[in-house]
Amino acid sequence: MKALRNYLDKIKPDFEHGGKYEKLWSFFDGFETFLFVPNSTSGRKGVQIHDSVDSKRVMSIVVLALIPALLVGMYNVGYQHFLAIGESADFFSTFFYGFLAVLPKIIVSYAVGLGIEFAIAQVKHHEIQEGFLVSGMLIPMIVPVDTPLWMIAVATAFAVIFAKEIFGGTGMNIFNVALITRAFLFFAYPSKMSGDSVFIRTESMFGFGGGQPVEGFSGATPLSYAAAGKDLVGITGEPISWWDSFLGLIPGSIGETSTLAILIGALILLATGVASWRIMLSVFAGGAIMAQIVYMAGGSTLDMGYQITLGGFAFAAVFMATDPVTGCRTNIGKYIYGFLIGVIAIIIRVFNLGYPEGAMLAVLLMNIFAPLIDFYVVDANIKRRLKRANA
């Protein structure tokens, strides 16, 4: 490590102002702080010691929490693939196919997003902000497996520039960046984001796998069956049980299918205290209550068990709604914010037949209202304090 440190110290002047690689300063700085914890110390006045946690640590915990859902998602991509082409494959090949299918999406998302971040950090001459470490991992997980790479690239660029950087970068954005990517894809290229043909990949990946779909194959997701009022069936027509939807062996966006894996991620986020349990709990509560009301009133064939495990609901509750930047920042506001996300997600699902899934739109909608909710929570505090003064 000492040699590496010495080498960095040696080349550092080249990247600083006036050096020959001055234009790559942000890149060097990002790389250096990635390798070594910055050794800058507290100022002369004020707090002299600091908590060990920093934004890099927080972001990397979120990425870590996403890994179980990603791995199961990869396996499921392979599983659905071999199911669709009617071949049996061992565990390793199944996972390997999914890995090959998903990896390019991760690479494209990170390359495009981080590329823009580096460029903007250089122009504004500030440090690389690590917010995109999370967004870049979320984006490939919330798209169908057959979404073309160029679309992901375009949507990612759009989201990073227009949803984040024009507002001032990480911490300043109003909307969840990953969800803006998905919304952009959803409205710009609807045929590649929903329907029957995008959730299962039947072609080969780099010469691996591939084949003709079996007879009776349908790539529709369970939620689209539910929206059409039909029974839930898998891609080859076999019925889907609640356990299938909980474990995640059903068609759907890459990382969203396995509620179990998502809950493992939730456990990591809650144990480390990175995500707000208030938001997470109230999204599930809002969704469950609304789903049960709708079910009992006959509005939907799915009870709350299915509504929560199917589609992107659990993923949105655990990873999207809990984004601290775009959510409510007061503790009371968090309950309201989360509850309404759960309620609205189910309402969109059940009552708007055009959109089988409502979690994305619910989170984006509540992103807009988060500051308003906070405003009223803080206003109540102000009124209470004024009352105290007049008493």
Q: Indicate whether 329 belongs to the interface with another protein (CB under 8 A).
A: yes
Taking a C-beta distance cutoff of 8 angstroms, is the pair 307, 313 a contact?
yes
Closest approach, Cβ 172 to another protein, in A, equals 6
Kindly tell me which residue out of 46, 207, 239, 354 binds another protein, with binding defined by CB under 8 A.
46
Q: Indicate whether 45 belongs to the interface with another protein (CB under 8 A).
A: yes
Q: Indicate whether 10 belongs to the interface with another protein (CB under 8 A).
A: no
Closest approach, Cβ 118 to another protein, in A, equals 15
Taking a C-beta distance cutoff of 8 angstroms, is the pair 279, 337 a contact?
yes
Contact flags string 163-202 toward another protein, x per CB under 8 A: -----xxxxx------------------------------
Residues 61-100 that bind another protein (CB under 8 A): 61
Q: Which region, judged by CB under 8 A, interacts with another protein, from 38-46, 74-82, 98-106, 292-300?
A: 38-46
Kindly tell me which residue out of 54, 203, 231, 238 binds another protein, with binding defined by CB under 8 A.
54
Rounded alpha-carbon distances, angstroms, from residue 160 to 167, 177, 190, 255, 316 = 10, 7, 20, 21, 19
Residues 341-359: b if buried by 16+ CB within 10 A, e if exposed: bbbbbbbbbbeeeeebbbb
Nearest C-alpha neighbor of 287 from the set 332, 348, 232: 348
Q: Which region, judged by CB under 8 A, interacts with another protein, from 57-65, 107-115, 228-236, 255-263?
A: 57-65
Q: Indicate whether 36 belongs to the interface with another protein (CB under 8 A).
A: yes
Q: Indicate whether 7 belongs to the interface with another protein (CB under 8 A).
A: no
Q: Indicate whether 384 belongs to the interface with another protein (CB under 8 A).
A: yes
Taking a C-beta distance cutoff of 8 angstroms, is the pair 218, 110 a contact?
no
Kindly tell me which residue out of 11, 35, 267, 368 binds another protein, with binding defined by CB under 8 A.
35
Q: Which region, judged by CB under 8 A, interacts with another protein, from 244-252, 268-276, 296-304, 338-346?
A: 268-276
Q: Indicate whether 3 belongs to the interface with another protein (CB under 8 A).
A: no
DSSP letters along 112-169, please? HHHHHHHHHHHHHT-PPPTHHHHHHHHHHHTS-TTS-HHHHHHHHHHIIIIIIGGGTS
Q: Report residue 19 CA to chain centroid gap.
A: 39
Q: Residue 208: helix, strand or coil by DSSP?
A: strand
Kindly tell me which residue out of 10, 17, 20, 41 binds another protein, with binding defined by CB under 8 A.
41
Taking a C-beta distance cutoff of 8 angstroms, is the pair 209, 84 a contact?
no
Q: Indicate whether 1 belongs to the interface with another protein (CB under 8 A).
A: yes
Q: Which region, judged by CB under 8 A, interacts with another protein, from 11-19, 53-61, 190-198, 296-304?
A: 53-61
Structure-block tokens of residue 367: 């992103």
Residues 90-149 that bind another protein (CB under 8 A): 127, 129, 131
* Range 4-13 contact pairs with CB under 8 angstroms and sequence separation of 24 or more: 4/35, 5/36, 8/32, 8/35, 8/36
Closest approach, Cβ 95 to another protein, in A, equals 25
Bridge partner list, 208: 205
Vertex 164 angle, CA 160 and 168, to 5°: 135
Q: Indicate whether 38 belongs to the interface with another protein (CB under 8 A).
A: yes
Which residues of the chain form contacts with another protein (CB under 8 A)? 1, 4-5, 33-58, 60-61, 127, 129, 131, 168-172, 271-274, 276, 324-325, 327-331, 334, 374, 378, 381-382, 384-386, 388-389
